[in-house]
Amino acid sequence: MEDSEQPQNTKPDLSLKNFRFLIPYLYPYRWRYLWGFVCLIAVDSAQILIPQFTARAINLVTAGEGEGVRSRILFLCLGMVAAMAVISTGRFLWRYFIHGASRRIETELRGNLFSHLLSLSYDFYQRSKIGDLMARSTNDINGIREAIGWGLVMLVDGTVMVLGILVVIFIQDAKTAAFALIPLPPITLLILLFGNAVGARFRRAQETYSRMSETVQEAFSGVRVIKSFVKEWWFGKKFAAANDDYRDSNMELVKIYGIFFPLITFLSGLTSLIVILVGGMRVVEGSLSPGALVALFSYFQMLIWPLMGAGFMVNVIQRGASSLGRVKEILDTRPSIESPREFPREFPVHPQRNLQKTGSVFTPSLRQNSAGEEAPLSAPPLLEIRNLTLAYSPEGGRNVLSAVNLRLEEGEMLGILGRTGSGKSSFIKALPRMIDPPPGMVFLKGRDVRDWDLEELRACFALAPQDSFLFSDSIKNNIGYGLDAQGEEADFARAAGFAALNRDLEAFSSGWDTLIGERGLSLSGGQKQRVAIARAFITAPEILILDDALSAVDTETEQRILSALNAEREKCKRQGRALTVIIVSHRVSTLSRADKVAVFENGSLSEYGSPKELQDSGGFFSRTAALQHLGDSAGPAGTAEASPRSERHGSKNG
């Protein structure tokens, strides 16, 4: 089997190069980011300008002489008001442009991630844990949004503020600025060390959050089992351990923050001390005005935030790189099962058949009969299995199916019997390519299933599994889930009658509109299975598969469903169409209605033929029939011993 999907336990790439992946998402919003940065630079320029107004006002006040001092001070105050207006307006605009763009990208990225997850194949979800996928779809997407929002803002804001302030203070008084900037190199080194430390610790925090989410999701999904075995204490202990692990991983981040920010504050405070000492001496010497000293002090106070913000920026960008690596890992995963990229020139059909392609369907070619009239050759069987051999591991290992051969004509019913683990479900999953069969082994209408468009192929099948999944919605919406358009009331009534749901609907509080709990928790096992059968039937498929879908219903209800199934098949024949059925069951009485029965043992087809032929063969089918007949004769107790179904579902009812 081919498998192009990446294993989920690989360590994601945390390089900043990951951000190149976002270029297609950022490009449509380039003008929003450009205008946002223009507004941000305008805000920074106005902030840098305000200390100059303050310095001139102080110099005017300390001079205390000359005419028009008050009017000049008032003019400076009006200038400060104008600068503050620019700051307020600019802050609103850059938030609108930049954060608005980051939110839109977040929405688009989350939508693409969800769509991509839906496109991945069945085996991806066998390897992945739902809690981890939920963490990547929520926390990690939020981390990416913070990086392309606040992270870019802090990068541009810090760069403009630091460069602007350095230029101004060196122009104003280079000697004082040179002394005051002595603590800057240690601060820069600390910022670099902080970024490296945060990246690894944040990745661990995200991983522990994923494990905690997995525990919660598993507990809520299996709450029935937990309560029936009184294991609340065990899951509480398991969650407490995961919760403590998440706390500890976050505390490692808190410790880094607790050391980093006070140390940065201390080193930044040294600059203020140096400004007071060196600048104050120069004011005393008369080489620096009092207003210039106040302006220098203000600039160095303003410089503390960009330096602190650099730490935040490194933190946010490292988090974003870590999150982007985890999300990109999923988006780079390709489905192991895909539709063919182009229609193949030749199909591996039976050499005795000459089929012509018409669109996406094969039709038999024509030949002349004895009367000289054109007549079609015999059409291929609806479903043909040729030496099907299947292993879940692409590197080899034990085959779950070995050399299976069978044919199923249109309108026939195929019964499947076998012990647990004999390969029945694997066989069923291979037909619509839920797991991928090797090429040239499974054919639908004479065409290799690997050459079908996946959507077209799977539309031919409708599956009602033993373990029925229902959505937290109304019964009607669950039944109509497979319809492309809203169905008619008559269709729902017909599907309910087919699945023997009529009596249950009368008992439900709101009939069709009764809401069921998540995964159908408010329904019994038999009711869930019958809703799944109705959901499969209402789509009017070419091939209806009941994969042990009657295991949780009582015998009377099962007979009603099977009778409805036979009636539907006869109705289809009268209307000139066919309903082909594959039914997996452990009850020989159920399979006795089939045209052919396939018996699986250890992945191989040990018996194949009509129920009567297998009954007379003395094989597994015959022995199982004898045991079940003996159990039925012995009454309820004997049935519970002999019937494989009652052994697994004796406590359930439909």
Token duo for residue 235: 């899951």
Rounded Cα distance, 121 and 110, in Å: 19
Could you tell me if 561 and 503 are in contact, meaning their C-beta atoms sit under 8 angstroms apart?
Answer: no
Taking 70 as the threshold, does the pLDDT of residue 11 lie above it? no
Please, are residues 58 and 290 in contact by the beta-carbon 8 Å criterion? Answer: yes
Instruction: List Cβ neighbours of 629 (8 Å cut-off, separation of 6 or more).
Output: none
Task: Give the pLDDT band of residue 283 (cuts 50, 70, 90).
Answer: confident
Residue 471: per-residue pLDDT = 80
- pLDDT tops 80 at residue 35: yes
| Chain centroid, CA 237 distance in Å | 28
Q: What is the pTM of this model?
A: 0.71
Res 360 pLDDT > 50? no
Per-residue pLDDT at 145: 92
Using alpha carbons only, how large is the chain's radius of gyration in Å?
A: 37
Token pair of 499 as six digits: 């699945």
**Given a cut of 70, is residue 653 above it in pLDDT?**
no
Residue 395 has pLDDT above 70, yes or no: no
Residue-level pLDDT at 307: 72
Whole-number Å distance between alpha carbons of 55 and 70: 15
Q: Which of 83-92, 126-135, 389-398, 628-637 has the lowest mean pLDDT?
A: 628-637
Separation CA 360–CA 452 (nearest Å): 8
- What's the confidence (pLDDT) of residue 634? 54
List, for residues 541-582, the tens digit of each pLDDT value. Answer: 899 999 888 888 888 888 898 988 888 888 888 888 888 999
Which amino acid appears at position 412 of this protein? E
Out of 460-464, 472-476, 486-490, 609-613, least confident range: 486-490
What is the side-by-side strand order in the sheet with 401-408?
401-408, 383-390, 442-444, 447-448
Is residue 82 within a helix (H) or strand (E), and if so which, with residue range? helix 69-94
Q: 235 pLDDT exceeds 60? A: yes
Q: pLDDT at residue 435 above 80?
A: yes
The gap from C-alpha 252 to its chain's centroid, in whole angstroms, comes to: 29
- Region of residue 375 (left: phi > 0; alpha: psi -120 to 50; beta: else): beta
Q: What confidence tens digit (pLDDT) does each residue in 256-281 have?
A: 777 777 777 777 777 778 888 888 88
Cβ atoms of residues 538 and 492 within 8 Å: yes
3-state secondary structure of 447: strand
The residue among 514 and 12 whose pLDDT is bigger is 514
Tens of pLDDT, residues 239-248: 888 888 888 8
**Residue that has been written with the tokens 């000049």 in this structure:** 72
Q: Which has the minimum average pLDDT: 40-44, 108-112, 623-627?
A: 623-627
pLDDT at 103: 93
- Give per-residue pLDDT as tens, 481-527: 877 667 677 888 888 888 888 877 777 777 788 778 666 667 777 88
Q: Give the confidence band of 66 by pLDDT, cuts at 50, 70, 90.
A: low
Q: Tell me, rounded to whole angstroms, the distance of Cα 12 from its chain centroid.
A: 17
**Average pLDDT in the 132-138 region?**
83
Among residues 557, 580, 585, which one has the least CA distance to residue 569?
580
Q: Is the pLDDT of residue 22 over 60?
A: yes
Nearest by Cα to 210 from 157, 145, 132: 132
The whole-number pLDDT of residue 174 equals 84
Q: Which residue has better confidence, 397 or 150?
A: 150
Exposed/middle/buried for residue 488 (C-beta within 10 Å: 0-12, 13-18, 19+)? exposed
Give the helix/strand (H/E) hosting 341.
Answer: none
- Provide the pLDDT for residue 494: 87
The share of the chain scoring above pLDDT 70, in percent, equals 84
Q: Compute how many other C-beta atoms are within 10 angstroms of the C-beta atom of residue 253.
A: 17
**At 297, is the pLDDT very low, low, confident or very high (cuts 50, 70, 90)?**
confident
pLDDT, residue 396, reads 55
Tokens of 128: 């992945």
Q: What pLDDT does residue 109 have?
A: 92
Range 16-331: architecture per CATH: Up-down Bundle (1.20)
pLDDT for res 487: 67
Per-residue confidence (pLDDT) for residue 583, from 0 to 100: 93
CA separation for the pair 141, 320 (Å, rounded)? 9
Give the torsion through C-alpha atoms of 543, 549, 550, 553, to 10 deg.
Answer: -140
| pLDDT band at residue 633 under the 50/70/90 scheme | low
Q: What average pLDDT does this structure show over 179-199?
A: 73
Q: Is 148 left (phi over 0), alpha (psi -120 to 50) or beta?
A: alpha
In 103-135, which positions are buried (b, 16+ CB within 10 angstroms) versus exposed (e)?
eebbeebbeebeebbeebbebbeeebbebbbbb
The amino acid occupying position 280 is G
| Confidence category of residue 348, pLDDT binned at 50, 70, 90 | very low
Residues 6+ apart with CB under 8 A from 646: 639, 640
Written as one string, the DSSP assignment of 228-243 is HTT-HHHHHHHHHHHH
Dihedral (CA of 64, 66, 67, 72) sign = negative
Least confident of 308-312, 334-338, 441-445, 517-521: 517-521
C-alpha span between 381 and 101 (Å, rounded):
56
Percent of the chain topping pLDDT 90 = 16
> To the nearest whole number, what is the mean pLDDT of the chain?
79
User: What whole-number distance in Å separates Cα of residue 289 and Cα of residue 193?
Assistant: 39
**Residue 464 vs residues 30, 388, 572: alpha-carbon distances, Å:** 49, 23, 20
Output the six-digit token pair for 112.
């693409």
Predicted confidence at residue 106, as pLDDT, reads 92
